[in-house]
């Protein structure tokens, strides 16, 4: 089994081109798979949350006129989620000062751990850093729930791929799988 990581749009392109058998990705609020939903098998694996996090040192800076942030480009999935669902809920006095921009959540996490700024990251990615005290959630800034979904092209498939699909969709780590 090969696992690749990429932006959601790239993952869906790999799926459609036959470069991947399955995609595990996020769906935003009220979003449903685009393009011919009948052409896909989709399983909900659970819920994750984008949470604003930063280092304790950055958190201890106290009230500031602007908040240094690690931004996502507006043309990637998490950038769109930020612009459409998080930014409108920011307190009106909030001024964001982008210090870095990346489409990769792992890079954004490393930047946050390095104290560069606040990053909105999936809770599943930062849970251990939060538990270890290396990162803290920033109170007063909005979070966003995202659905975790597994997708494949509908139709006939190799028996081994079907077996893997069934195993993943019934795995106990995914109690929300339908």
pLDDT per residue as tens, the chain (178 positions): 566 677 777 877 888 888 888 888 888 877 655 544 677 788 888 899 999 999 999 877 666 668 999 999 999 989 999 999 999 999 888 899 999 999 999 999 999 999 999 999 999 999 999 999 999 999 989 999 999 888 888 876 778 778 877 887 777 676 555 4
Cβ neighbourhood burial of 160 (10 Å; 0-12, 13-18, 19+): exposed
For residue 61 the two structure tokens come to: 């800076």
Looking at the chain, the whole-number percentage of residues with pLDDT higher than 90 is 46
Domains, the chain, with CATH or none:
8-47+146-169 (3.40.190.10), 49-143 (3.40.190.10)
Residue/partner pairs of 125-132 with CB below 8 Å, 24 or more apart: 126/51, 126/53, 129/53, 130/53
**CB of 134 within 8 A of CB of 112?**
no
Under DSSP, is residue 78 helix (H, G, I), strand (E, B) or coil? helix
């Amino acid at each position: 089994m090969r696992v690749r990581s990429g932006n959601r749009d790239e993952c869906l392109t790999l799926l459609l081109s036959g470069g991947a058998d399955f995609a595990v990705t996020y769906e935003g609020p009220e979003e449903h798979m685009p393009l011919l939903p009948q052409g896909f098998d989709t399983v909900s694996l659970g819920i994750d949350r984008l949470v604003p996090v930063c280092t304790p040192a950055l958190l201890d800076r106290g009230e500031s006129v602007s908040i240094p942030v690690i931004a996502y480009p507006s043309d990637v999935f998490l950038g769109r989620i930020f612009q459409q669902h998080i930014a409108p809920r920011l307190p009106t006095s909030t001024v964001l000062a982008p210090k870095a921009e990346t489409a990769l959540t792992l890079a954004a996490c490393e930047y946050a751990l390095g104290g560069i700024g606040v990053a909105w990251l999936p809770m599943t990615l930062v849970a251990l850093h939060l538990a270890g005290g290396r990162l803290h959630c920033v109170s007063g800034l909005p979070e966003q729930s995202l659905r975790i979904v597994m997708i494949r092209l509908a139709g006939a498939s190799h028996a081994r791929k079907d077996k893997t699909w069934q195993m993943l969709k019934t795995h106990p780590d995914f109690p929300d799988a339908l």
